[in-house]
Amino acid sequence: MENVMTGKAYPDEEWSGAGCPMGAFARRTLLQGTAAGLAVGAAGGTALREGVTVAGTPAGATTEAKSRTIPFHGYYQAGIATPPQQDAVFVSLDVTAASRRELTELFRTLTARARFLTAGGRPPKTPSTAAPSSTGILGPTVVADGLTLTVGVGASLFDDRYGLRARKPVQLVTMTPFRHDDLDPALSQGDLLVQICADHRDTTVNALLDILTHTKSAARLRWRIDGQRNPERPVGVRRDWFGFKDGIANPDTTNAAKMDQVVWVQPQSAEPAWAAGGTYHVVRIVHFFIEAWQKVPVAQQERIFGRRKASGAPIYAQGENDSDLLDPIYTNDPQGLITPLDSHIRLANPQTPQTAATSTILRRSYDYDRSPNLPELDMGHAFICFQQELETYIAMQTRLEGEALVPYISPRGGGYFFALPGVRDDSDYYARRLLT
């Protein structure tokens, strides 16, 4: 493979899985990180379709903990249709690359690091007197641990810096406040978004530090939000900090036809050709007023959400064990006597012909807690969703401007991004079709 910065081919010996030449972890340049990551990643194997395999004991090791591996290569990026992992970090970056060539190298570096981290393996050894080549958080071997890295681009990347204005996704815009939003510029927008998800916290932190270290010469951190998914208690879909089940109404991610209809950008659409296989990615950082919510009677909470708190079932259901998969029925309730007209679920999907096209998104949200050492609780929801058209989400959120939940939430950050098509094989890299 040719190095786009120098025009020279990488030496064959750089493609060794364990002994690739890499600089010290804290001092590695962008170019060094690219070559080294590609070297290690090449040894990790490829898979053209997303799925789950199990990684056992690496060659040369006697005992290593097993962890699941989610293949990195594919037509679509992992971390979208992938069942949500336990832990997540969302990282927004401002690109500082001085040229289109340096921007390309940044994406090559991101690809190399993602390819290695998601496959797992032994980082290269460094002399005992030199800085280590990895954080060591995961021990001597980096385990895959169900890790996915999902990369998206923001509208600001398509300004005049890199000559990409004409290639911007058609609906990609900068997030503007809805009626009750209080967006903090320091917690909003960004040129790039990297979504890091894994089965355990140490894996996401290791990946975060690795990515920030390897990209620091071409990008700087703008904001981050850490999230977790609570266990399913007692059964079924997990609960958010308000105690309600979240993400009940979601398209079937195993139904390829449905995903092609509502999530994935299709070839020969209004979008630029390079965008096929990508999707619009929304991040909304929503603060919850927990203490005020806890004073609201349960019956009123249920009318605000439009579902039973214990079961997640529609309001017409009475038992704690009623299925949360029951469909709310609005045709016999035009005045909202059962499910209030301003309840969360009814405004999100009113079930009318006029709103049918803007009522289906793929939710993949996490809860956050940034409360330590603060005078008041800062807990809430990192609302995450993917959709084929950004306007689908914007129309839905516009309807929710009048929901009864408004006094108990405060959207404070996030942004709109376009999740890139997948990296197809060892010779591919993030945004290649955008940049070439």
Point out the least confidently predicted range of 54-63, 99-108, 390-399: 54-63
Give CA–CA dist 393/396, Å, rounded: 5
Give the model confidence (pLDDT) of 192-212 as tens digits: 999 999 999 999 999 999 999
Residue 43 clears pLDDT 60, i.e. is over it: no
| pLDDT of res. 50 | 44
Question: Is a pLDDT exceeding 90 seen at residue 214?
Answer: yes
Average pLDDT of the chain, as a whole number: 87
Mean pLDDT of 236-241: 86
For the segment 64-69, the average pLDDT, to the nearest whole number, is 74
Q: Which of 338, 235, 380, 243 is nearest to 298 (CA)?
A: 243
For CA atoms 233, 234, 236, 240, give the dihedral sign: negative
For 113, phi then psi, to 5°, come to -70, -40
pLDDT score recorded for residue 135: 85
Higher-pLDDT residue of 135 and 287 is 287
Half-sphere exposure of 266 (CA within 13 A, CB side): 10
Task: Taking residues 64-80, report their average pLDDT.
Answer: 89
pLDDT of residue 371: 87
pLDDT in tens, 266-297: 999 999 999 999 999 999 999 999 999 999 99
**Residue 4 clears pLDDT 70, i.e. is over it:** no
Token pair of 127 as six digits: 């002399």
344-396 pLDDT, tens digit per residue, is: 999 999 999 999 999 999 999 999 999 876 778 999 999 999 999 999 999 99
Confidence of residue 67 (pLDDT cuts 50, 70, 90): confident
Q: What is the mean pLDDT of residues 324-338?
A: 92
Q: What's the CA gap between 194 and 202, in Å, rounded?
A: 17
pTM of the model: 0.85
- Does pLDDT of 400 surpass 90? yes
Is residue 129's pLDDT more than 90?
no
CA 377 to CA 256: how far, in whole Å?
41
- pLDDT bin (cut points 50, 70, 90) of residue 36 is very low
Residue 432: pLDDT band (50, 70, 90) is: very high
Q: Are 219 and 95 in contact (CB under 8 A)?
A: yes
